[in-house]
Structure 1
Amino acid sequence: MTVPWVKLELDVAAFDAPHFETYVTRCREDGIRLTTLAELGDTPEHRRRLYALNKECSADIPGRGEFYSFDEYAERRFEAAGYDPRGIVIALDGDEWIGMAATSVREGFLFNEMTGVRAGYRGRGISIAMKTFGMAFVRESGTSTVRTFHHPANADAIAMNRRMGYVDAAAEG
C-alpha cells in the first residue's frame, strides 16, 4: 500500500519574514551560526560532512528506509540539475555541523528537499531558523513558491512547515 505523502507549498510573498527572523536571532544568541555550503566552500570534504549529517538526521524519518551510499547521494544531490550550494543551509555549533536545510531549483518553484537537526539540538527552533535563513536564496531565485512533502507520520515536520505558512499544495491534475 502506497502512503499518500503530505504535499505542502509556501507562497513566498505571504511569508512573514520579520516574525521568523526571531528564530535566526535566537540561534545566534545561543552560539549557533547559520551559513550556506557556498559560503563554507563546496568542497569534497564539506560534501562528505553534509552527507554524514543528512544520513544521521534522516534516520528517524518515517518511511525513509535505508539511506543512500555516498555515491548515490552525490549523484542525487550534487549532480542534479537543480543543485546550488547557496541553497544548502548549514547550522554550526562551533565547528560541529548540527543541522541542514537543502533547497533545490525546479521548473517554476524551489523544492525544500530536507531539513534536519541532530537529535541533541532538536526543539530549539533551529529548523525554522535554517529555513528562514534560506529565504535569502529563495528571494535571489525570484521564485514565488517553495514546495516540500512529508510522510504523514512526520507530524513535527508538517507542523513546523504549517507554522511557517506552508499550506496543502493544490491537487495536480
Structure 2
Amino acid sequence: MDIDEFDESTFASLHRQAADAGFDFTTMAELGDTAEHHRALYELNKTCSSDIPGRGEFYTYTDYVAQRIDVPGYNPNGVILAVHDSRWAGMTATSLHPAKGVAFSEMTGVLRSHRGRGLSLALKLHAIQFVQAAGYRWLVAFHHPGNAAAIGMNRRLGFVDYGR
C-alpha cells in the first residue's frame, strides 16, 4: 500500500461508529510496554489467529516474544488495541523496517464476539496513521490466499497485489 495515496476521509465514519459502540483505541506504549501486557497481547493474538486459514500451531509465548517483540522492528506505538469494557477486543501490530523503507502489518485481528462491527478496518486505519506519523510511504501485508475477509479489507483500503 502506498501511504501517500491513501485517502482517510473515505473511512471517517468508522472511528465514530466504534466510539458509539463503546470501543476505545490505545497503544501498547500508552498502556505500558510491560511483560504483563506482552502476555495479554500474545493471548489475544493467539486467539484471533486461530481463525486464519492454514495458520497451524501458534508460537509458544517465548517464541512470540523473540520473533515479534524482542526484534528491531517492534514499536509499542505500532501495537494498537481496541478496548471494550476494559477488555481487549482486537489488535493490530505494525513493525517498522528502516533498512527496507517499509512498515509491515504483522497481524490484525478481532475476537469473534466483537466481529462484524468494523473493528478490523478501524484498527487498520490506526495502523496507517502510525505508519504515516513514522514517515514511511509503504505498508506491506501478507495473507493466506484463503483469508478472503482480510484480503478484501486490505484491498478496500488500497493495498494492491505485488509481484511474487
- State the TM-score, normalizing by the size of structure 1: 0.91
Between the aligned partners of 2:128 and 2:157, the Cα distance in structure 1 is 12
Runs (4+) off by over 4 Å: none
Residue of structure 1 in register with 2:47 after alignment:
56
The Cα offsets for residues 87-112 of structure 1, whole Å up to 9 and x where unpaired, read as: 00100002110100000012211000
Identity fraction in percent: 48
Contact 1:24 1:133 in 2 (8 A): no
- Of 5, 9, 18, the match for 1:18: 9
Q: CA deviation at 1:15?
A: 1.0
- State the TM-score, normalizing by the size of structure 2: 0.96
Between the aligned partners of 1:45 and 1:93, the Cα distance in structure 2 is 19
- Of 23, 26, 33, the match for 1:42: 33
Residue of structure 2 in register with 1:5 after alignment:
none
Residue of structure 2 in register with 1:87 after alignment:
78
The Cα offsets for residues 48-87 of structure 1, whole Å up to 9 and x where unpaired, read as: 1100000000001011110011000000111111000000
Residue of structure 1 in register with 2:152 after alignment:
159
Residue of structure 1 in register with 2:65 after alignment:
74
1:36 counterpart letter in structure 2: T
Between the aligned partners of 1:87 and 1:59, the Cα distance in structure 2 is 22
- Of 27, 33, 36, the match for 2:18: 27
Q: CA deviation at 1:132?
A: 0.7
Between the aligned partners of 1:158 and 1:134, the Cα distance in structure 2 is 16
SS of 2:74's equivalent in the other structure is coil
Q: Which of 21-30 and 152-161 deviates more? A: 21-30
The Cα offsets for residues 90-140 of structure 1, whole Å up to 9 and x where unpaired, read as: 000021101000000122110001000000111110011011122221112
Between the aligned partners of 2:25 and 2:112, the Cα distance in structure 1 is 18
**Which runs of 5 or more residues in structure 2 are unaligned?**
none
CA-atom RMSD in angstroms: 1.0
The Cα offsets for residues 29-62 of structure 1, whole Å up to 9 and x where unpaired, read as: 1110011111111011111110000000000101
Query: Which structure would you say has the larger RCO, counting Cα contacts within 8 Å and 6 or more residues apart?
Result: 1
